[in-house]
């Protein structure tokens, strides 16, 4: 691909974007609703402008795959902006000052932004100090355009934070300090392995707590190393951008039968814990209570979280609706069917045939997305009041429907599933993983 093609597209997008801003500026004295929509568009365009200008400056440092990916995305942006220009220049004057017209343009630009962001952050993994120098110079421009500091970080500040996280040194990891164990008030999160913990201190607040249990003393050193690395990286994670909780610290705890257990303290919240739900709890609720828009949002957020776990160079290894977005598991397996239903065929049972890779996460993600699409939990639970014990997992209706389908399709189904599994597994590439 011609190296200059990306630069040419950036310049075209910039020209059209500036033209739209000028057209919108003619409405600055319109009613307050229209004026508010114009301000939102300008904010969206400022973010886009910063990112595409950065892409243009580092274009010669991209490899062919990066360049092809950016070219496709920028062509989409140019098309989106061109449609917006046509609406503004050739439409009915009365319709143009309708806030819905601008809101539609904003929605199109935000949709493009959501498609662009994952690729944007992938660019930040390029190992080249030139990117750091460009980021440093462009961040000053970002501060000027965005004005006073806001709660949400700008795209360049997020990118710089990601590059800082990706280059964490061994010395930094070794110097990471674990927290001392403190008394907490615990609260179960329905159908989740994570818990909510209320910490009493000068700054009392709730935390979401995931626990990693180590049953072999020989694993403790590797786990401490990997927990440090994960905690340092997630301390920089922006929840809004990455769909991941911040890690607020790690507490090593010794319990009888467990030589070492670490508790990542995740995503502190002072309010709203009474309504906290796991994805499993939501899947078990009636379908009519959840709109299609919310289902799509949940699916997108789950996919985004997994994508950024991989961007941080980790493998999740335990993706299912009842776990937190940062829960990761041991290299070994188990025979718990409620876990295995989410695992790739190569990761079944006590002694899986292959090591965890990112592809196995994608398989598990696909199972979760299928549940969201059907709005059916593949795992059901016993009724606590009926059996007088905590809810236990059991086969759900979709499981029995699958068994019926399997018997009807026979060998043809086996052949098709084999092709699907081969497609997910792939044949090339090396994935990073986490010792646990």
pLDDT digits (tens, 9 = 90+) for 82-116: 988 887 776 665 655 666 778 888 899 999 998 89
Query: What is the DSSP secondary structure assignment for residue 312, as one 8-state letter?
Result: T
In the CATH scheme, what architecture does the domain 277-436 have?
A: Orthogonal Bundle (1.10)
Q: What six digits make up the tokens of 326?
A: 């940062």
d(CA 27, CA 23): 8
Q: Residue 152: what pLDDT?
A: 55
Location of each CATH 3.30.200 domain in the chain: 178-276
Q: Where are the beta strands (DSSP E) in 194-286?
A: 195-199, 205-209, 212-214, 247-255, 258-269
Contact present, 112 and 80 (Cβ < 8 Å):
yes
The pTM score is 0.70
Residue 326 has pLDDT above 60, yes or no: no
- Would you tell me how many other CB atoms lie within 10 Å of the CB of residue 285? 12
Q: Residue 429: what pLDDT?
A: 38
Express each pLDDT in 237-246 by its tens digit.
777 777 777 7
Say how many CA atoms lie within 13 Å of 135 toward its Cβ.
21
Lowest mean per-residue pLDDT among 201-205, 226-230, 333-337, 378-382: 333-337
Q: What six digits make up the tokens of 20?
A: 């739209």
d(CA 72, CA 420): 27
Q: How far is CA 321 from CA 34, 160, 324, 401, 432, in A?
A: 41, 32, 8, 20, 23
Q: Span 42-60, mean pLDDT? A: 88
Q: What are phi and psi of 29, to 5 degrees?
A: -105, 15
Q: Span 312-317, mean pLDDT? A: 81
Residue 260 has pLDDT above 80, yes or no: no
Q: What six digits make up the tokens of 196?
A: 């909510």
Which residues have a Cβ under 8 Å from the Cβ of 246 and sit 6 or more positions away? Answer: 234, 235, 237, 239, 266, 267, 268
Q: Span 273-278, mean pLDDT? A: 70
Express each pLDDT in 185-233 by its tens digit.
888 888 888 888 888 777 778 888 887 777 677 777 887 788 888 888 8
Location of each CATH 1.10.510 domain in the chain: 277-436
Count the residues in the chain: 436
In the CATH scheme, what architecture does the domain 178-276 have?
A: 2-Layer Sandwich (3.30)
Residue 370: name the closest of 328, 307, 319 by CA: 319
d(CA 96, CA 90): 9
312 or 261: which leads in pLDDT: 312
Q: Residue 88: what pLDDT?
A: 77
Tell me which residue has tokens 């044949």. 427
With bands split at pLDDT 50, 70 and 90, how would you rate the model's confidence at 395?
A: confident
Contact present, 422 and 205 (Cβ < 8 Å):
no
Residue 427 has pLDDT above 50, yes or no: no
- Would you tell me how many other CB atoms lie within 10 Å of the CB of residue 101? 18
Residue 216: name the closest of 258, 254, 252, 253 by CA: 258
If you write DSSP's letter for every residue of 63-127 in order, what string do you get? -HHHHHHHHHHHHHHHHHHHHHHHHHHHS-HHHHTSHHHHHHHHHHHHHHHHHHHHHHHHHTT--
Q: How far is CA 245 from CA 7, 121, 266, 358, 403, in A?
A: 36, 17, 6, 20, 37
Estimate the crossing angle of helix 32-57 against helix 99-123, to 10 degrees. Answer: 20
* Chain centroid offset of residue 267 CA: 14
The dihedral built from the CA positions of residue 113, 119, 122 and 127, taken in this order, carries a sign that is negative
């Amino acid at each position: 691909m011609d190296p200059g093609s990306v630069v040419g597209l950036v310049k075209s997008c910039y020209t059209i974007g500036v033209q739209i801003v000028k057209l919108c500026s003619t409405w600055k004295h319109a009613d307050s609703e229209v004026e508010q929509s114009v301000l939102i568009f300008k904010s969206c365009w400022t973010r886009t402008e910063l990112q595409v200008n950065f892409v243009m400056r580092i274009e010669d440092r991209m490899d062919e795959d990066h360049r092809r990916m950016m070219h496709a995305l920028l062509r989409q942006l140019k098309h989106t902006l061109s449609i917006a220009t046509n609406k503004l220049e050739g439409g009915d004057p009365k319709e143009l000052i309708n806030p819905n017209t601008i809101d539609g343009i904003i929605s199109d630009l935000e949709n493009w932004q959501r498609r662009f962001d994952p690729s944007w952050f992938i660019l930040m993994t390029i190992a080249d100090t030139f990117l750091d120098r460009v980021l440093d110079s462009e961040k000053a421009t970002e501060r000027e355009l965005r004005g006073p500091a806001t709660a949400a970080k700008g795209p360049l500040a997020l990118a710089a934070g990601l590059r800082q996280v990706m280059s964490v040194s061994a010395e930094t990891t070794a110097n990471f300090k674990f927290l001392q164990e403190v008394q907490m008030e615990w609260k179960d999160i329905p159908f989740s392995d994570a818990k909510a913990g209320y910490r009493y201190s000068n700054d009392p607040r709730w935390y979401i707590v995931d626990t990693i249990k180590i049953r072999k003393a020989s694993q403790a050193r590797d786990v401490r190393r990997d927990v440090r690395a994960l905690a340092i990286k997630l301390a920089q994670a922006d929840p809004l951008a990455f769909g991941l909780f911040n890690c607020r610290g790690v507490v090593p705890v010794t319990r009888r039968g467990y030589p070492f257990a670490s508790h990542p303290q995740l995503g502190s919240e002072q309010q709203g814990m009474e309504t906290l739900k796991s994805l499993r709890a939501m899947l078990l609720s009636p379908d009519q209570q959840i709109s299609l828009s919310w289902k799509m949002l949940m699916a997108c957020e789950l996919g985004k979280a997994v994508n950024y776990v991989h961007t941080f160079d980790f493998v999740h290894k335990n993706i299912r609706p009842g776990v937190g977005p940062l829960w990761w598991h041991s290299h070994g397996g188990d025979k718990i069917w409620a876990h295995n239903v989410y695992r790739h065929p190569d990761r079944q049972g006590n002694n899986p045939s292959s090591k965890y890779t990112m592809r196995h996460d994608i398989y598990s993600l696909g199972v979760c997305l299928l549940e969201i699409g059907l709005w059916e939990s593949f795992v059901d639970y016993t009724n606590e009041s009926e059996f007088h014990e905590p809810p236990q997992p059991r086969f759900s209706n979709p499981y029995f429907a699958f068994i019926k389908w399997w018997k009807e399709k026979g060998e043809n189904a086996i052949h098709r599933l084999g092709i699907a599994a081969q497609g997910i597994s792939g044949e090339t590439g090396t994935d990073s993983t986490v010792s646990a």
